[in-house]
Chain A
Amino acid sequence: MKQEELISRLSEIKGKLIDIEHKANNRIFLMCEAENAYAVNKFLFEDVPLRFVIATGIDSDDCFEVLYHFSYDETGSVITVKAFIRDRENPAIESISPFLPAAEWIEREIHDILGIDFKNHPNLRRLILADDWPEGVYPMRKEVKK
């Protein structure tokens, strides 16, 4: 599959996206709302199929962002799904671990550092925070970092 074919495959999921952005060479960003992230990720992993790399959790200006990075190795592309979680009080998003075991750790990590609830995660225990770290304090949130 060449780069053009990849881009046309990605446009199949357009209905669930806010925008598709091409940055630099081989770097594609798919923006979506949190509720569509599960379907978009499932499409990328199972149907395209792409290799999962990692996810990044960010405390952004007025929302939380979860970035799911995928790699398409034939053309060396990184495809990033940028999901926006607008609810700052009770941030939650559907877990992708049930179909993608590789995401289990990183979802636990993002839960630790930002307090985002990954719904239907098989095992949302602490991963990186110490046992005596206080409950409800999320070290990568802006208010804590200050």
Chain B
Amino acid sequence: MKETVKKPVLAVGPFHPLQEEMEFYQLTLDGEKVVDIDMRISYNHRGIEGISEKLQFDQVPYLVSRVCGICSASHPLAYINAVEEIAGITAPERAQYIRVIVNELERIHSHMLWVGLAGHFIGYDTVFMWAWKYREPVLDLLEEITGNRNNYGNVKVGGCREDIPNEIIPKMLKELDKLEKKTAMLTKAVLDDPIIHARLKGVGILTKQAAIDYAVAGPTARGSGIAIDVRRDDPYAAYADLDWNVISQPEGDVFAKAVVRLLEVLEAVKIIKQALKKLPDGPITTEVKEIPPGEGCGRAEAPRGETFHYVRSDGGNRPVRHKIRAPSYVNVPSFKASCIGGHIADVTITLAAVDPCYSCTERLAVVDGHNNVIHNYESLLQLSREKTARIKKEIGAPEWKLEDI
């Protein structure tokens, strides 16, 4: 009889048409406390590393920009850093600056997307609407430069595909000024809010030691007090010429990660403005004849952390091996350290805090030992929001509804 008394298991995932990545989480619960987590990935394995070996060096950037819809500037750039390292090529200075501008615009829109969704998860839809509204002009700027709102395909070995016409620089600076003001306002509103403090502080803590053991990257590491950033540590493109700061917070909780991302948006605006003002004249590509035999490691700081590409060439026109590591590959397993011991109502926001892919949590179901579904995605989201409402009540915040405004 003993075997039938099982701890409830919470199944998260794996499929939803909106998901970028298919992931499956199985949480074991003791009451409302999470005691274990298991993960399964690769429901949508596309074999990109294998396809890459069948393409020519100059075709691969367009393939790897499809590794991720959001990081579609970082992956090609990391690949190109590796290939340029093998061939000993340096792209023209103007191209280096354009690479910085496109990558930082990507960082802004990705972080704004996260902030909005994080707000949605804890029942703060105003934050969601603000953040996504301010994100929109950034996508428009990217479209104006590269022709696409995502999947820019703007870098190639030895330079860039599309130039930034000097005529649009004043317009871009104006848009960035507007964005800076709005982001500063949003950052202050979010970071000063006592309810967000009460809801996110101390939740889903990833300690510094756990962050080292799981080798996490990007805002997940910087939120745990590890101030690493490839842009500063192993500078590529034009980052070494620009003045900006690496943001880090020691606490390791969800709030710290939110602070890091919000402040990084402001840093990104600062970087783009400088780059636009310093944008040197000249060509944007250099001629590349062939890639010699060799191996190279290319890195780029994607919005979610370090993107690493290893490329090996045998002197032919295709890579013989191309290894890709996206930051989520190391950030996602850190759930073992940050979720266990936590409360079930905090799971959605803790999983979301490393910015893996939100839609992954669209298919939550809690199953007990007799396989009866007792919670689904909506009810778990409800739990998360009720906790926020409870905190609001305790703090004595006014009960505002959208209709009252």
Contacts and interface: CB of A to CB of B under 8 A. Distances in A.
Given A24-B85, A104-B333, A128-B41, A67 B310 contact: yes
Interface stretch (B157-165, B207-215, B392-400): B207-215
Interface in A25-80: 26-27, 29, 49, 51-54, 56, 58, 67, 69, 71, 73-78, 80
Best-buried of B42, B297, B329 by chain A (most CB within 10 Å): B297
Contacts of B6: none
Nearest to A24: B85
Contacts of B41: 105, 127-128
B33 interface: no
Contacts of B336: 101
A140 B54 CA distance: 13
B69 to A, nearest CB: 20
Best-buried of B85, B215, B306, B330 by chain A (most CB within 10 Å): B215
A24 B306 CA distance: 20
Contacts, number: 85
Contacts of B330: 54, 102
A100 interface: yes
B75 to A, nearest CB: 14
Contacts of B234: 26, 71, 73, 76-78
Contacts of A53: 215, 306, 308, 325
Contacts of A56: 310, 321, 323
Nearest to A79: B297
A50 to B, nearest CB: 10
A105 B323 contact: no
B50 interface: yes
A139 interface: yes
B25 to A, nearest CB: 14
B294 A23 contact: yes
B341 to A, nearest CB: 16
A74 B308 contact: no
Nearest to A54: B325
Contacts of A100: 213, 215
B92 to A, nearest CB: 19
B213 A102 contact: yes
A58 B321 contact: yes
Contact of B215 (A29, A51, A77, A145): A51
A102 B214 contact: yes
Interface residues of A, number: 35
A43 to B, nearest CB: 16
Contacts of B308: 53-54, 69
Given A69-B297, A78-B297, A58 B235 contact: no
A29 B312 CA distance: 13
B94 interface: no
Contacts of B212: 49, 51
Contacts of B76: none
Given A26-B234, A128-B41, A73 B228 contact: yes
Nearest to B40: A127
Nearest to A109: B42
B310 A69 contact: yes
A35 B194 CA distance: 56
Given A23-B294, A54-B323, A80-B297, 19 more contacts: A23-B295, A24-B88, A27-B296, A51-B228, A52-B215, A53-B308, A54-B310, A69-B310, A100-B213, A101-B214, A105-B329, A105-B333, A106-B329, A127-B41, A128-B41, A128-B42, A128-B45, A130-B45, A145-B50
Interface of B: 41-42, 45, 47, 49-50, 53, 85-86, 88, 212-215, 228, 230, 233-235, 294-297, 299, 306, 308, 310, 312, 321, 323, 325, 329-330, 333, 336
27 contacts: A24-B86, A27-B85, A27-B296, A29-B295, A51-B212, A51-B215, A54-B310, A54-B323, A54-B329, A54-B330, A56-B321, A56-B323, A58-B321, A67-B323, A73-B234, A78-B297, A101-B213, A102-B214, A102-B215, A102-B330, A102-B333, A128-B42, A128-B45, A130-B45, A139-B47, A139-B50, A140-B49
Which 9 residue pairs across A and B have the least CB separation, nearest first? A76-B234, A102-B215, A128-B42, A54-B325, A56-B323, A52-B215, A76-B233, A78-B297, A73-B233
